[in-house]
Structure formats: C-alpha cells, structure tokens
Amino acid sequence: MAEQQPVALDPRPLSARLWTYQAQRFPLTSQGALIVLFALSCVCFGALTRRLPAPPGQENVVVALAVVFLFFFQLRVADEHRDYDEDLRARPWLPVPRGVITLPELDIFAWGAVAAQALLTAALHPPLLALLFPPWLWIFLVRHDFFARDTLQRRPLLSLALHLGFFPLVALYAVGADQLPATGGLAPGMLAFLLLSAVCAAAIEFARKSLAPEQERPGVVTYSKLWGPRGAGMTTAFALVTAILFAFLAFIATRTNGAWFLPAIAVGFAAFYAAARYAQTPTPVHASRLLGWTAGWIAAAYASVGVLPLFVRHGGDIVP
C-alpha cells in the first residue's frame, strides 16, 4: 500500500475528530452493541460448557468485553490501512481520505489497545496471553491483505473467507477467558460455536453488501453487483440457514431445554424470508429489511447460545 497522501486535516481537537470517526466507521450504538453481545455470549458459553458449569466471574466478563471490543477496533484500523488507496480514489467522502483523522493517529490508538489487552489479560490469567497472538496475527495479515492483494481482489470470496478467520480466533479468546482461569484448559464441544461466529459474520457481510440496483455506487464492490441481487440474496439465505444449524448445535452443547431456542429459530427464519424477498424483488426497502433481520438474527443467536441459557440454568446465582 502506498503511504498516506497529505490531506487537509480537520482542524478540530483530536477527541472531536475521533468521535466523528467512530460514528461513521465504528458506531458504538450498532456495531458496539453487537460486539458486546458477542463477547458476553462467548464468556457465558464458556461457563456453560465447562465440566462443572457455573456463572462466569465478573472479572472474566469485564476483561473479555474490553479485549474483544479492542480486537474489533484494531481490525477496523487494519481495514483502513488495507483500503486506503481505494478509498482515496473511489470513496473520498470517508473519514480518513477526507482528513477527519489520519492513519498514524489511528495507529497510536491501535497500539495502545495492544498494550491494554496484554495488561488486562495478564492480570486475569497469564497463560491466556497465548490466545491473544492468533487474533493479533490475523489483524496484521488483514492489514497487508495477506500479502496477496492482487489475487484477493480477483477472488472476493477468498478474501471474505480469509477475513472471516478472525472471528473464531476472537471467540476462542473470549471462551478461554472463562475456561482457562477456571479449569486450566479448554473444554471440548466449542467447535460449533466457533463455526457459528464465522458464519454469522459471513451472513451480515453478505446482507450489508446486498443492495437495490439504484443504491449501487461506482467503485464500491458489493455482492449484489458481483452476482446480481438474486445471487446475493440466495447466498445470504444459505448463510442464515447454516448459521441456524451451528447455533442449534452450540445450544445443545449448553445442555439447556430446547424450547428456549425456539424464539431464535423464529427470528432466523424471518431473516431467511427477508433474504428470499430481497432476491425476488431487490428494492431499497427489501435490502434494508434484509440487513435489519440479519442483524436481529445474529443478536438472537448469540443471546440464545450463551446469555439466555446461563440465566435459565444459573439465574438464581447471578441475580440476588
């Protein structure tokens, strides 16, 4: 990637510029809420699938939430580096190309996040430090497009698959944040949860980049542009069905009464219906509903395989 070109830097204080950046590229009210739910679900799932299930400790939850949130911020910064040249050319309205914040400024926060993650993890359970390195390595590879930029630009599905490897690695850390301090090891049966994290990420990525024809922008790659709205909608539908399967397998691993999973199935099939409607009639309304229902399904899935089972089985120990 070429070095960042000089731009007219926004004259506001850094705090104001950073707030504008997060609102546009890392919104706390939407992405942040899903990240928190994802991390909480991981910790709860870890607590439920130990040999002797018990509620997670408060310190385990706090560290997992903070470290996972910082992982996603670091991934966002890596994407800014990876996409900078293309953003400068095709999407100059984005915060970095238009000078709201610079890549070196973002790097300062990203490296500060590395230090915070290491300190928090060491304070919780030093052996857990080993699980920080796989997500860090993956973020580094994403930043450099796995050193195969030309190949990945020609093969968007390969690029997506490599990008999605990040999510199971982060889930493994967050599950480990409960299990390693409690038992000294990782319990079997987490494979379905790790696969769920990857498939949910694929589903939201497909839905996010499935637009109506009139919403497409020059220079912006979407799956609806690559495969047509029908292909993008049906691919999203397939990802949703796969996610429902993995979510159910992960739910079974928690050994909770299956009736508690029924609401998640209902939301999942509502999202599937939204994908089918978009594939049939790709209007802006149907594209918006597809994204909304897919995000709703992901929230329901993570709540149903971690948070809800924990309250069903240990609610009396959590709530006085």
pLDDT band (50, 70, 90) for residue 188: confident
Single pTM value for the model = 0.92
Looking at 73-82, 215-224, 225-234, which range is the least confident one? Answer: 215-224
Q: Does residue 316 surpass a pLDDT of 60?
A: no
Residue 212 near residue 284, CB atoms below 8 Å: yes
Residue 305 near residue 251, CB atoms below 8 Å: yes
Q: List the one residue out of 47, 66, 311, 298 whose CA is nearest residue 176.
A: 47
Chain centroid to CA 113: 17
Neighbours of 69 (CB within 10 A): 20
Q: Does residue 57 surpass a pLDDT of 70?
A: yes
Q: List the one residue out of 84, 69, 67 whose CA is nearest residue 26.
A: 69
71/66 Cα distance (integer angstroms): 9
Per-residue pLDDT of 86-118, as tens digits, reads 888 888 889 999 999 999 999 999 999 999 999
Residue 223 near residue 231, CB atoms below 8 Å: yes
Q: Does residue 320 surpass a pLDDT of 50?
A: no
pLDDT band (50, 70, 90) for residue 5: low
Q: List the one residue out of 70, 225, 188, 91 whose CA is nearest residue 136.
A: 70
DSSP state of 303: I
39/174 Cα distance (integer angstroms): 6
Looking at 65-74, 80-89, 106-115, 240-249, which range is the least confident one? Answer: 80-89
Q: What percent of the chain has pLDDT over 90?
A: 77
Q: According to the model, what pLDDT value does residue 319 have?
A: 43
Question: Which residue blocks in the chain are alpha helix, DSSP H?
Answer: 14-25, 33-48, 58-90, 103-124, 133-143, 149-154, 156-164, 166-183, 191-208, 223-253, 262-280, 284-302, 308-318
Mean pLDDT, the chain, whole residue set: 92
Residue 209 near residue 232, CB atoms below 8 Å: yes
pLDDT band (50, 70, 90) for residue 35: very high
Higher pLDDT, 17 or 152: 17
Looking at 58-62, 83-87, 178-182, which range is the least confident one? Answer: 83-87
Q: Does residue 4 surpass a pLDDT of 80?
A: no
Higher pLDDT, 123 or 221: 123
